Structure 1
Amino acid sequence: MKQYAKTFAEKAHAGQKRKSSDAPYISHPIRVAERLEENGFTDEVVCAGYLHDVVEDTPYEMKDIKCEFGERVAKLVAAHTEDKSKSWQERKQHTIDTITYAQKEIKYLIVADKLDNLLEMERDLKLQGDAAWDKFSAGFEKQKWYNQSIATNMYVGLDPNDAPDYFGEFEEAVERVFGAG
């Protein structure tokens, strides 16, 4: 099932590039899924890692994910899919609200995604300086608010023993990119 999810995502994102580079878009979902797999999460969570941006950024719909991968994978993807008809602020607030109250598998997926995005942002900042912010819908202050809010709320309701190591890696990246508090 994981290989099929990877292939499906590769097909769905064919021709797409990352916002900040000429890298194929699929490199991001692959890294997210690999991080989830390295941490020993279920096949459903790993599949959701490959598929997490398909509904948001391609012509595929949630019903396609459900039909191809089942109810569980579809629910994980749905929990992490932004409604692009809403403003940046509304979409990001929804993600913060979701991570605050979500079951742990959804938290794992969201943080793996946000960590990969933040590490890429950090690389871009080292290469391009502040010009890297120009590629985003929201600048430094809004990105700081969003990422710090994710870091603060990802632990809510989560047993500390259930937090994977990359949660700490995300916190460290938030501090490196945005500074403390």
Structure 2
Amino acid sequence: MKQKAKDFAEKAHRGQTRKNSNAPYITHPIRVAEKLERAGFSDEVVCAGYLHDVVEDTPFEMEDIEAAFGSRVAKLVAAHTEDKSKSWQERKQHTIDTVKHAENEVKYLIVADKLDNLLGLEQDLDLQGDAVWRNFNAGVEQQKWYNTSISENMYVGIEPDNVPSYFAEYMDAVKRVFG
């Protein structure tokens, strides 16, 4: 099932590139899925890692995900999919609220995604400087609010024994990028 999800995501994201580079977009979902797999999460969570941006950024619909991968994977992807008809602020506040109140597997998926995005941003800032902020819908202060809010809410409701190590990595990256 994991290879099928990877193949599906590769097809869906074909021709897309990352925001601040010419890197193929698929490199991001692959890294997210690999992080989830290394943390020992279920095949469904790993598949959701591959597929987490498909509905948001490609012509595929949630029904396509459910038909191909089942309701559990679709539920995880749906919990992490932003409604692009809403403003940046509304979308990000929804994600913060989801991180605070969702089941653990949704939190694991969201934080793995946000960590990979932030590590990519950190590399882009090192290479390109503050010019990278022009490629975002929100400036550095809004991005700082968003990432800090994720880090402040991601532990809510998770027992210490169930916290993956990359949560601390995300907190460290937030501190490095935003001070």
Would you say same fold, with TM above 0.5?
yes
The equivalent residue for 1:58 is 58
2:121 counterpart of 1:121: yes
Query: Equivalent pairs: percent with the same residue?
Result: 74
Indicate whether 1:142 and 2:142 are aligned: yes
Name stretches of at least 5 consecutive residues in structure 1 with no aligned partner.
none
Quote how far apart the aligned CAs of 1:103 are. Answer: 0.5
Structure 1 letter corresponding to 2:97: D
Structure 1 counterpart of 2:93:
93
TM-score (norm 2): 0.99
Aligned counterpart, 1:31:
31
TM-score (norm 1): 0.98
CA–CA distance in 1 between the matches of 2:127 and 2:17?
18
The structural deviation recorded for 1:161 is: 1.1
Cα RMSD (Å) of the superposition? 0.4
Cα shift at 1:132: 1.2
Distance in 2, Cα, partners of 1:62 & 1:69: 10
- Counterpart residue identity of residue 89, structure 1: Q
Tell me, in whole angstroms, the C-alpha distance in 2 between the residues paired with 1:74 and 1:104.
16
2:41 match? 41
Residue-pair matches, total: 179
1:19-57 deviation per Cα after TM superposition (whole angstroms, max 9, x unaligned): 110000000000000000011100000000000000000
Q: How far apart are the structure 1 equivalents of 2:47 and 2:165?
A: 20
Distance apart, 1:69 and its partner CA: 0.2
Structure 2 regions of 5+ residues with no counterpart? none
After TM superposition, where is structure 1 displaced by more than 3 Å over at least 4 residues in a row? Answer: none
